[in-house]
Structure 1
Amino acid sequence: MSLLYAGIDAGTQSIKLLVYDADSGQVVATTSAPLELISGEDGSREQLASWWIEGVHACFAQLDASVRASIVAIGVSGQQHGFVPLGRDGEVLAPVKLWCDTSSARECGQIMQALGGEQRCIEIAGNPILPGYTASKLPWTRQHRPEVYRDLATILLPHDYLNFYLTGERFTEVGDASGTGWLDVRTRQWSPELLAAIDPDRDLSPCLPPLVELGATFAILPAIADALGLPHAIRIAVGGGDNMMAAIGTGCVVPGRLSMSLGTSGTLFAYSDTPVIDPAGSWAAFCSSSGGWLPLICTMNCTVATETIARLFGFNVGQGEAMIDETRPGAGGLTLLPFFNGERTPNLPDARAAMLGMDLLNATPGNCYRAAMEGATYTLKYGYDAFAAAGLDFEAIVLTGGGANSKAWRQMIADVFDLPVEVPRQTEGAAFGAALQALWAHLHGGGDSITLPELVAQHAAVDPSLSTRPDPARVGEYRTHYARFLQHLNAVRTLYAA
């Protein structure tokens, strides 16, 4: 069997594993394991790090032994912003507060106030501290879990923790690190000012793992290799946050491409060779995990909206897809503000979902499901408008994530954004991107001079059968319905002001 490359993606809903044969250009195996979510009325969203480890083992156990034996390199993708607190001996000290956790929204303002305000925060590090970012989780922990904060020895992000489990090494990289809130994205170094604003009485820098360069690889621990049924010679690439890995998996490693991920959260991101920082903080000024920068817009409610409405009415997402065909754009006058997890774009961490415009005729399961899909799409469009206002221009959208499997959603994206939609042959962009990064790191380590963009261009092909173009008639309809969404958003904004 050919040499194989694996990508692990630790998402909110599941652990996914993809195994890629670079010689044939084929994915030879995909497996997954579901994850639970611990939710609290205060906006807390947590998971146990041990669940991720169990999921990784479950995923590898589903592979044939011959496939496992042929894997030579692994890349890890992980949900961004999560706070994994480790003690001195590497033990996890508490449940992991996730990206969608808004319980520490108040601490965001406190950190920025200590710096001199949001504008000063952007001047220092390139980003404001938004709800869900790792930075706010530290003062929250200091107040609510003082024993954890006292014993804290290392701060890791979710993908860092899986790398730590696989290699025994504590390290991170600039892409995922830029989502913590304490990385200066211009210099790609930790910001002493941000760390001091988080806790003026404690030097947190010893808790931060070293930043390693793209292309570095690490040996897998022999005991872990044995437990997973993998060769001892496997190398672990640096990996990155799920958005950064999805950028690689969708070919967003050169300027001019716009990628959109429809997962539990929704994201828009574009590659740049230079930092792209908005003085107003309308988007996240992140680093990429491919050597550049990744301006990114994140919404906290995407497929969670359609799945919640489907569960409410007692049908599955597949049945909802059929219902979409029986409805029209605008959902009969229904508008869903899909803020089930609060929201980051717009910045309304305390917001809650609201279905507006119901009457005796339009309140049907099909219309409600369409309203959920439209609401999630409109929220992404709201973020995209900030890109457009800054003069960023794109010729097409490259779509990935679970929502990209929906024909109705692909067409809706094309119509709402009035842009052609392309879908990569591998729709699980994050796991595939992690596998491609592992492939490149393996070749780079062997002396191959191919650049990462060149390698991605060879492997990240689109599926022409899934591509779609805007329907001119529906483009006009959606402009009207999107305007209605903005009216409703402005009407409720004062109820949930940040």
Structure 2
Amino acid sequence: MHVIGLDLGTSRFKGVILAANGRAVLAAAERELRFIKDGPRVEIDPEDHWQSFTSLLRELVAAAHGDSDIALCFAAAAGNTLLLDPQTGTPLTNIISWLDQRVDSDDLPALHGLDPEKLRALTGWPTITRMTLAHLAFFRKHAADILDRAIVSQNQAYLLCRLTGKHLVDFSAAVPFRVVDQLNECYDPALLRRFALRPEQLPQLIPVGAFAGTVLPAAAAATGLPPTTRIYAGCFDHPAAARASAVQHEGDLLLSCGTSWVGFLPCRDRQKLLTARLLIDPFRRHENGTWAGMFSIPGIGPLIDEYVHRYIAPVCHDPFQRFDELARAHCAGACRIDLTTPYAQPNGTPGEAARALMEAAAEGLARELTRLKAHGLTFQHAVMVGGPAKSTVWPQIVAQKTGLAISVGSAAAGAIGAARIALAATQTQ
């Protein structure tokens, strides 16, 4: 038996294939994703998305050497939205990325009167100008005729549907959908009325690890997966990474550093997480009663990339290796960079800017941890995953700024966590 886990991130797909013991990584692969960008518009072509997905799977399946006993699960950076034809399942729109900013400058009646904190208490997520909630309001204003007849999907639900023919979404990945009553595990009738949606227009809600189906013949041909492949519901990407990093108890902390820098912390008391104004994931609610809170420094990954490519290492073959080398060779304090504002030409050398960039990101984490301490949420140790965790100096800077002992987790933590969800599901069948 082999287990495949995928991490469907914002800007890239990552995947691993594990042996049946769930520990040995036999192969790993990734694919960069392409965006359609035009000003505030950020979209993804659904067919291109599928081709990246199938290409990644074919590479991983090859490492199974013909084994027909495969289980598959994927985690996802949810909150991307597309509309599907209810009869054929084909896309009626592009995938709108959660990075899309058109809602910021558009007056959308469906969002009028929404209270972010009441929304957080109901759905686990407060923001009303990003992700599916905002996209629904956008479609309701600008494409109501399409919305009225469509199935509302997210990118990971669309890929799952192409694999199995079933339109499903797990309770974790459904959180950024932000129309789900998190405690009662159902779509909230008032929110559906607000967007004039019928329940049958939305994916069926299922638990993390639930059996989702086997692979359709056309999908088997496209991916190389055996038709007998069992597919299991995954989760949001950060709880998957937490599962792979042994972050599962109160006092544990995951620092997931990607497009956004996210802190993920298990906690049994959902109200405590609400009071601390954290995003809430159901995590292991059905296993041991543990919820999880998330805080975010949103969107700093692309901004860091911009500093690296425009100023710090603009003409290097491996700009991020050069970025790391420069930061390691320079001391703090010679330059300051503000990651809460758009790119601005640094007032120091590229090396000083590299160090300042790492310091600024770590200071953002430290500020958030100080805020959480006032709510009784404290930590001694954290596991750091994502691109910045590969740095030889960045984890040390995070440790200095936060006072935490930092250990580095796997670069493929999200994919490994998804694979382990599938493995656990096969063992309980």
User: Superposed, which structure 2 residues align to 1:303-314 within 5 Å?
Assistant: 303-313=301-311, 314=314
Is the 8 Å Cα contact of residues 81 and 134 (structure 1) preserved in structure 2?
Answer: yes
Residue 421 of structure 1 corresponds to which residue in structure 2? 406
Paired residues of 2:17 and 2:63 also in contact (CA < 8 A): no
Residue 390 of structure 1 corresponds to which residue in structure 2? 375
| Structure number with higher strand proportion | 2
Contact kept, 8 Å, 2:42 with 2:99, in 1: the verdict is yes
TM-score norm. by structure 1 comes to 0.78
Verify: 1:207 aligned to 2:201, yes or no. yes
**Change beyond 3 A, Cα 1:419–1:64:** same
Give the secondary structure class of the aligned counterpart of 1:430.
helix
Residues 1:353 and 1:311: Cα distance change in structure 2 (over 3 Å): closer
Match of residue 4, structure 2, among 6, 14, 25: 6
Q: Is the 8 A contact 1:9 1:16 kept in 2?
A: yes
Compared with structure 1, are the counterparts of its residues 65 and 125 closer, same or farther at alpha carbon in structure 2 (3 Å cutoff)? closer
Tell me if 1:337 matches 2:332. no
Please give the residue correspondences for 1:52-67 in structure 2 after superposition, counting only pairs within 5 Å: 52-63=49-60, 65=62, 67=64
Q: Distance in 2 between matches of 1:181 and 1:277?
A: 20
Alpha-carbon distance between aligned partners in 2 of 1:309 and 1:6, rounded to the nearest angstrom: 35
* 1:305-352, Cα deviation, whole Å (9 max, x unpaired): 33211210313111111101221123x13223255xxxxxxxxxxxx3
Q: Is the CA contact (8 Å cut-off) linking 1:98 and 1:132 kept in structure 2?
A: no
Among 29, 45, 60, the residue aligned to 2:27: 29
Q: Tell me what 1:173 maps to.
A: 170
Q: Deviations over 1:55-94 (max 9, x none)?
A: 1222233347351533510011111211121111211111
Q: Secondary structure at the match of 2:176?
A: coil
In the superposition, relative to structure 1, how do residues 388 and 46 fare at CA in structure 2: closer, same or farther (>3 Å)?
A: farther
Which residue of structure 2 lines up, in the alignment, with residue 151 of structure 1?
149
Distance 1:354 1:183, change over 3 A: farther
Count how many residue pairs are aligned between Structure 1 and Structure 2. Answer: 418
Equivalent in 412, 415, 425 of residue 441 of structure 1? 425
- CA distance in 2: counterparts of 1:429 and 1:63, whole angstroms: 16
Q: Distance in 2 between matches of 1:68 and 1:284?
A: 41
* Conserved 8 A contact 1:108-1:129: no
Q: 1:385 to 1:290 in 2, by over 3 A?
A: same
CA distance in 1, matches of 2:108, 2:345: 29
Paired residues for 1:235-314 under 5 Å: 235-276=230-271, 282-288=277-283, 291=286, 292-313=290-311, 314=314
In the TM superposition, what are the counterparts of 1:332-481 in structure 2 within 5 Å?
Answer: 332-339=334-341, 352-354=342-344, 358=347, 363-424=348-409, 426-445=410-429
Q: Secondary structure at the residue paired with 2:192?
A: helix
Shift of 1:220: 1.5
Task: Note closer, same or farther for the CA distance 1:320–1:22 as it changes in structure 2 (3 Å cut).
Answer: same
Offset at residue 232 of structure 1 (A): 1.8
Moved more, 314-323 or 141-150: 141-150
Check conservation: 1:79, 1:241, Cα contact below 8 A: yes
Following TM superposition, by how much is the alpha carbon of 1:102 offset from its aligned partner in structure 2, in angstroms?
2.6
Counterpart of 1:9, as a letter, is: D
Shift of 1:146: 4.0
Q: Is the 8 A contact 1:108 1:136 kept in 2?
A: no
The 1:272–1:214 alpha-carbon spacing in structure 2 relative to 1, beyond 3 Å, is: same
For 1:138 and 1:275, locate their aligned partners in 2 and report how far apart those are by CA, in whole Å: 27
Q: Which amino acid aligns with 2:93?
A: A
Q: Identity percentage over the alignment?
A: 23
Query: In the alignment, which residue of structure 2 is the partner of 1:15?
Result: 13
Describe the SS at the equivalent of 1:67: coil
* Structure 1 residues 175 and 24: alpha-carbon distance in aligned structure 2, compared to 1, 3 A threshold: closer
Measured in 1, the distance between the counterparts of 2:218 and 2:420 equals 25
CA contact 1:185–1:285 (8 Å) conserved in 2: no
SS in 2 for 1:227: helix
Give yes or no for contact 1:155–1:207 (8 Å, CA) kept in 2. Answer: yes
1:118–1:56 distance in 2 versus 1, CA, 3 Å: closer
Following superposition, the deviation at residue 434 of structure 1 comes to 0.6
Structure 1 portions without partners, runs of 5+: 340-351, 446-498
Hey, what does 1:328 align to over in structure 2?
331
Give the secondary-structure state (helix, strand or coil) at the position aligned to 2:270.
coil
Contact preservation (8 Å) 1:9, 1:242: yes
Residues 405-448 of structure 1, C-alpha deviation per residue, up to 9 Å, x if partnerless?
A: 11211111111111001122x32111111111111111111xxx
Matched residue of 1:427: which SS? coil
1:162 is matched with: 159
Partner of 1:456 in structure 2?
Answer: none
Matched position secondary structure for 2:242: helix
Q: Distance in 2 between matches of 1:33 and 1:123?
A: 36
Paired with 1:276 and 1:430, the residues of 2 have a C-alpha distance of 27
Indicate how the Cα distance of structure 1 residues 404 and 67 shifts in structure 2: closer, same or farther if over 3 A, else same. same
Conserved in 2, the CA contact under 8 Å of 1:336 and 1:355? no
Q: How has the CA–CA distance of structure 1 residues 141 and 384 changed in structure 2, closer, same or farther, with 3 Å as cutoff?
A: farther
Whole-Å Cα distance in 1 between the matches of residues 17 and 139 of structure 2?
37
Whether contact under 8 Å (1:414, 1:421) holds in the other structure is yes
Alignment of 1:100-119 (within 5 A): 100-105=99-104, 113-115=112-114, 117-119=115-117
RMSD of aligned C-alpha atoms?
Answer: 2.5
Correspondence for 1:69 among 54, 66, 76: 66
Q: Which runs of 5+ in 2 are unaligned?
A: none
Report if the CA contact (8 A) 1:46-1:96 is conserved: yes
1:266 positional shift? 1.1
Contact 2:237–2:414 (CA under 8 A) maintained in structure 1: yes
For the 8 Å contact 1:79–1:158, the answer to whether it is kept is no
- Give yes or no for contact 1:269–1:296 (8 Å, CA) kept in 2: yes
Q: Show the counterpart of 1:134.
A: 132
Question: What residue identity is the alignment partner of 1:67?
Answer: A
Distance in 2, Cα, partners of 1:401 & 1:290: 25
**Is 1:225 aligned to 2:189, yes or no?**
no
SS, match of residue 380 in structure 1: helix
